[in-house]
Amino acid sequence: MATMTNNDELLFMAREYAAKGWHMIVLWGVNDDLSCACGNSSCSDVGKHPVGGRGVKDATTDLAKLEQWFLTDPAAETNPLRRARNIGIVAGEISNLTILDIDMGPGKMGAQTWVELIREHGEPQTLRAITGSGGMHLFFIYNSALKTSSNTLGKHVDCRNDNGYVVAPPSRHQSGNLYRWDNWGNGLGALPGHLSRRKETRGRPRKDDLFRGKYTIEQVRGMLEVVPADDRDLWRSVGIILGREFKRADEAWQLYNDWAAKWGGTKGRGHDANMHACFYTKSQESSDAELSLGTIIKAAMEHGWVPRKGEGSLSDFVYDHESNGYIYRPSGAIWVGASVDAACGPVNVEGKLVKASLWIQEHARITTTTSTPAIKGDILKGYDCREGVLFESPSGAVYNKYRPPTIEPGDASLAGPFEAHIRRLMPREGDADQFMNYFAHRAQTPEEKPRFALLIIGDQGVGKDTAIDFCCPALGEWNVASIAPSAVEGGFNEYAAKTLVRINEAADLREMSRWAFNERIKVLIAGNPDGCEINPKYGRKYTVTMHCGVTITSNHLTGSVHIPMDDRRYDVIQCATLEEMGLGQEEERRDYFTTLYEWYGKKDGNRHIVAFLRERNLSGFSAALGQRKTAAHTEIVQHGMSGDDWLRDILDGLGYPPCVRADWILDRAVGMKELKADVRARMNHALRRMGYDVFPNPHYKDGRWKVNGVLCKVYKRRDYRPTPEPDWQKELEMSPDEEK
């Protein structure tokens, strides 16, 4: 059976691992039907167990053996590894690796456990991989303190050390997803001390028994406040209990008197003497059935008392059944049940105390999660969400992660310094209004997705980031994601659920990555489809209908991003230079921005900008069709076309043949030090600009030609129309030199 994972990619990464001294084993892979390649239809360890019976004893860094694993024809009947395969990295001293495995799949609590583990010390800086199920592998320098085990540091946080291994990128998971590196190229960190101690699990955990706990006099006072003092037997018992438990302390005697005084009836003969005897004398007498604080606790519970713990409120939490975690509504953080119980006291249900976490599970449950300004509030009952679309569901409840801005608007008429800065920064016709309209749209209708991005080009220090920063309070700073270009290649994409995505310094891209970067952010910018699965670093995946706007900033006009000729996704704004702004001198520049920031921070400028954006007239602005073709846009497009020189050189060397095979282009481009993946991604568009179109084979559904036993894509020169047509099969089987 075929597999999605390319053996060339597996071998390439295996060589990388071997160069680091990491030992590996070959694992059974995952077939296209998501079954295990081991052949066992009921395999419980799909894509994760070793080929052969020796396990980690087969670990190797031998390149010859690695090539035998991954270069042998997987279809050959003589090949014992002819079925799909994965690769495992062996942990422990042999590879100088200790690996933490955080399981974040459905129903797993790895994310919550990990958040608790790093809450005080922060996340360790080390090499990370994303598993096929959305979990994480953290790679550290070998530390013998931890052993290979499950739940090593808490629920669903395992350790792989000596005699252990993990499935490694680019292996395929049972879900069909690939394992991938999150920050490949980073070094290994040392295992922090707080993560090098196994969670203690020996012995029987102490039961949370209210009746056997220790209480202060003030806590007992809280209990007695709800207990009537009209039962004579209880009246006597309370005196005995308080005298015994608090060793006849004066504060306890005062509490006894205060409580007894609640009874408004007439005191009987000897009342005060009986109280004194119970508290001071009978409390010190031994009895087979000694009274205890449990008697007071039981009476208090029957009258609605609950113990107070932290300052938390039940209404602050909802329970997410799928992740088995509790969402703290004010911040959106995920808590474990024990933390909820520590923050909130139990609930008194008909005289019985129920833990807060259990009560929340039953009464405050959510079924799906999304993030949208279209929902008012954070809980929408009677609905569920699928692919970002809300639909009625009587038993459902949607948790909405979106939080509206909370800043109070000021006076729009006082936002002059902001508008003046924008017009000074963006003096070309229409640029300043386009910028302000774009951000006013984000502030007024955040639920409506813009279909184009603002690409803002300007020298360092002109204030282009300041312009964006000043607009963020109107959107809610937490609804704005600032990311580097490399983030779009990572496995986590929580930024796609925001109101605004800021991509900073696009010129940091390598020249060969600009085309790929443009391809990767197409949907982020323009949507279609708008439904998006969000994979947060912590917590479970959820879906949204994207509503984000996108801004991209760069210091370089022609070195920023690749924009194709037919582009409708970028509105390019070229900022003025410092000299054009009249800020060529450092002292002028310092005084200008000092004054501007003082107005913003100390004179309610931030609030005035909020009012300005919320009240701005947008009747002439279209979020869907408002993109302009500025002069800066045209210059970037033309520069991108000049970036086809690598292909022009190849075609010139081939003599601009009537037909050209894709493999001819790839082989020569790689020889010119181009990246194979980038060439594959750019080739179609670049050949079209060079006058070549795809030449489909009418005899194959996918249009490819079988040349010398290999299927390949073919392109024909647009102006080549021979009569009669030649035998294309023969033409294509010729070598490039013969063709020339």
Instruction: Note the pLDDT tens digit of each residue in 526-556.
Output: 988 899 999 988 778 899 999 999 999 998 8
- For residue 204, pLDDT beyond 50: no
pLDDT at residue 59 in the model: 93
Phi, psi of 453 (to 5 degrees): -110, 155
pLDDT at residue 462 in the model: 95
Higher pLDDT, 578 or 287: 578
CB 143 within 8 A of CB 189: no
CB 175 within 8 A of CB 132: yes
- For residue 223, pLDDT beyond 70: yes
% pLDDT > 70, the chain:
91
CB 406 within 8 A of CB 476: yes
pLDDT at residue 55 in the model: 87
If DSSP codes are grouped into helix, strand and coil, which group holds residue 222? helix
pLDDT at residue 298 in the model: 82
**Mean pLDDT of the region 494-508:** 85
Half-sphere exposure of 495 (CA within 13 A, CB side): 24
CB 572 within 8 A of CB 417: no
CA distance 274 to 271: 5
CA distance 273 to 280: 10
- For residue 3, pLDDT beyond 50: no
**Mean pLDDT of the region 504-512:** 56
Q: Is the dihedral of CA 503, 505, 509, 513 positive or negative?
A: positive
**Mean pLDDT of the region 53-69:** 87
Give 311's pLDDT tier (boundaries 50, 70, 90). Answer: low
DSSP assignment of 10-32: HHHHHHHHHHTT--EEEEE-B-T
If DSSP codes are grouped into helix, strand and coil, which group holds residue 569? coil
Give 206's pLDDT tier (boundaries 50, 70, 90). Answer: very low
Residue 655, amino acid: G
Higher pLDDT, 114 or 343: 114
- For residue 617, pLDDT beyond 70: yes
Taking residue 6's Cβ as centre, other Cβ atoms within 10 Å add up to: 11
Q: Hey, what's the torsion of the CAs at 580, 586, 590, 592, to 10 degrees?
A: -30
Q: Which residues pair with 365 in a beta bridge?
A: 319
pLDDT at residue 82 in the model: 55
% pLDDT > 90, the chain:
45
Look up residue 649 and give its two tokens: 């050189």
DSSP assignment of 65-120: HHHHHHHS-TT-TT-TT-S-EEEEEE-BTTTTEEEEEE--STT--HHHHHHHHHTT
Q: Beta strand 136-141 with 180-181: parallel, antiparallel or unpaired?
A: unpaired
pLDDT at residue 2 in the model: 39
325-330 contact pairs (CB < 8 A, 24+): 325/109, 325/111, 325/112, 325/539, 326/357, 326/360, 327/366, 327/399, 329/378
Give 205's pLDDT tier (boundaries 50, 70, 90). Answer: very low
**Mean pLDDT of the region 600-626:** 96
726 Cβ contact list (under 8 Å, min separation 6) = none
- Of the candidates 10, 347, 18, 378, the residue with the CA atom closest to the CA atom of residue 169: 10
Supply angle C-alpha 659, 661, 664, rounded to 5: 120
Give 509's pLDDT tier (boundaries 50, 70, 90). Answer: low
Burial class, 529, CB count within 10 angstroms (exposed 0-12 / middle 13-18 / buried 19+): exposed
3-class DSSP string for 535-548: CCCCCCCEEEECCC
Look up residue 262 and give its two tokens: 């609640």
CA distance 183 to 92: 21
Residue 452, amino acid: F
- For residue 648, pLDDT beyond 50: yes
Give 371's pLDDT tier (boundaries 50, 70, 90). Answer: very high
CB 46 within 8 A of CB 36: yes
Burial 471-510 (b: 16+ CB within 10 A, else e): bbbbbbebbbbbbebebbebbbbbbbbbbbbbbbbbbebe
Taking residue 696's Cβ as centre, other Cβ atoms within 10 Å add up to: 15
**Mean pLDDT of the region 66-75:** 66
Q: Is the dihedral of CA 140, 141, 145, 150 positive or negative?
A: positive
- For residue 208, pLDDT beyond 60: no
Residue with tokens 């803002």: 456
- For residue 90, pLDDT beyond 50: yes
- Of the candidates 649, 447, 436, the residue with the CA atom closest to the CA atom of residue 544: 447
CA distance 456 to 503: 10
pLDDT at residue 284 in the model: 83
pLDDT at residue 559 in the model: 67
- For residue 12, pLDDT beyond 90: no
Burial class, 168, CB count within 10 angstroms (exposed 0-12 / middle 13-18 / buried 19+): buried
pLDDT at residue 5 in the model: 44
pLDDT at residue 54 in the model: 85
What length does the chain have?
740
79 Cβ contact list (under 8 Å, min separation 6) = 72, 73
**Mean pLDDT of the region 350-359:** 85
Look up residue 3 and give its two tokens: 């597999």
When the pLDDT of each residue in the chain is averaged and rounded to a whole number, the result is 86
- For residue 268, pLDDT beyond 80: no
- Highest-pLDDT range among 36-40, 503-507, 636-640: 36-40
CA distance 292 to 209: 14
CB 113 within 8 A of CB 154: yes
Give 566's pLDDT tier (boundaries 50, 70, 90). Answer: confident
- Of the candidates 520, 508, 511, 635, the residue with the CA atom closest to the CA atom of residue 574: 635
Half-sphere exposure of 96 (CA within 13 A, CB side): 11
CA distance 398 to 447: 17
Cα–chain center distance at 404:
20
Higher pLDDT, 740 or 153: 153
Distances in whole angstroms, Cα of residue 157 to Cα of each of 161, 177, 200:
13, 21, 14
- Of the candidates 503, 508, 455, 513, the residue with the CA atom closest to the CA atom of residue 483: 503
- For residue 6, pLDDT beyond 90: no
Global pTM? Answer: 0.62
CA distance 383 to 375: 11
Cα–chain center distance at 377:
22
